[in-house]
Amino acid sequence: MRELAFARTRFGLMAAVIAMIAVLMVLLSGLSSGLVVDGVSGLMRSPIGAVAFSEGTKTDSAFTRSEVTRAQSDTWAAQGDVADAELLGTSIVNAKNGDGSPLDLTLFGVEPDGFVTPAAAQGREIAGPGEAVLSSSARDEGVALGDVITLSRLGTTLTVVGFTADQRTFGHVDVAFIPLTTWQEVHAGAMAGEQPSPEAYDVASVVALRGIDGRTPDLAAGDTAAHTSARTIKAAFDSSPGYAAELMTMQLIKAFLYAISALVVGAFFTLWTVQRTRELAVMRAMGASTRFLLTDGVLQAAILLVGALAVGMGVGLAFGGLLQGTGIPFALATGPILAGGALLLGLGLAGAAVATARIASIDPVTALGENR
């Protein structure tokens, strides 16, 4: 502690660097969580336990490439460990609000009385063709109850009858829950007022599944029977547009941040140890054990790291709180932030331990001026 006080300037500068790394860690964690929420909250906050795609569908953007039939849904529903199986249609469209302002939407075609249909926190649930319940975040785009939204190219109109309690987005686009029959008409490319072929009402993008008592059903057995490719809902996140690429980018940035943190702390304590070589040698000559000196060095690093991380994470949380609700995909999640802080602390201590390990090789004779 006396050394920390004596060299407070250099330790203060090092603490400032660690604190800034901690601020960046909090902001990156918030951005990663925000991108996940903005990308797949429509799936994340649904009661769906697994989804079945058409057989052979590639993982990336599978929701927009897959096409399953009602017969496949019925086959899944007949499985003994499946509580619910429903057709779910997904497609991203361009639209215009009643005042002519452009609007991007992800259409989720659902059974009006099915388990996928969300409750409306404002307004009411969908009950008939041409009605829509939108994500609560759509209100920020100027959408209100009773608005009539017109889909580009087709001219199909959707009347907003309700909003969900929380954000429901898919591919960074607000979700509009509409009756499955309306989605099937849009998917078939039927113009407003036209009726598609009867076969159009037999298809959807995926089969939404829910196991008995919340358990995941036997996906392999269901796939064999229905000729589909099923995945748990978390595994299906990778099939949303851009999700995997965004997440991998953020993880790579955070990995470099953690590596830089360990190197910075290790380099600082390496230089600090070199500068203290003669003093440490004197302590060895006076009888201090290697274990005592190592413990002393690592505890100095621990005090510095804990204090700097606490300050940096506090500043990061305060700044992150200002970012929420600004339209930036940012969400403060306790788990990732605490995990990131623990990782920074662990890697910093590891770097300091490697740096101070050279203390073990200090020769007490150095204190007597042997090298002069």
Q: What does pTM read for this prediction? A: 0.81
Structural domain total, the chain: 2
Same domain, 28 and 170: no
| Same domain flag for 350 and 306 | yes
Cα 369 to Cα 285: distance, rounded to the nearest angstrom: 12
The two tokens of residue 266 are 């290790």
The DSSP annotation for 338-368 comes to: HHHHHHHHHHHHHHHHHHHGGGGG--GGGGG
Residue 199 in tokens:
């076969």
Matching residue, tokens 């203060």: 12
Same-domain status, 222 and 248: no
Contact present, 354 and 265 (Cβ < 8 Å):
no
Residues 109 and 169 in one domain: yes
Domain residues for the domain of 159 are 56-226
Same domain, 128 and 154: yes
**Start-to-end Cα distance in the chain:** 31
Q: Does the pLDDT value for residue 372 go beyond 60?
A: no
Query: Are 115 and 197 in the same domain?
Result: yes
Tens digits of residue pLDDT in 222-273: 999 999 999 999 989 888 877 888 888 888 888 888 888 888 887 887 787 7
Verify that 140 and 19 share a domain, yes or no.
Answer: no
Residues 197, 259 within the same domain: no
Q: What is the pLDDT of residues 304-348, one digit of tens each?
A: 889 999 999 999 999 888 887 777 788 888 888 898 889 888 888
Same domain, 72 and 205: yes
Residue 49 lies inside a defined structural domain of this protein: no
Domain boundary among 226, 257, 280: 226
**Is the domain of 216 the same as that of 250?**
no
Same domain, 146 and 258: no
Residue 236 placed within a domain: no
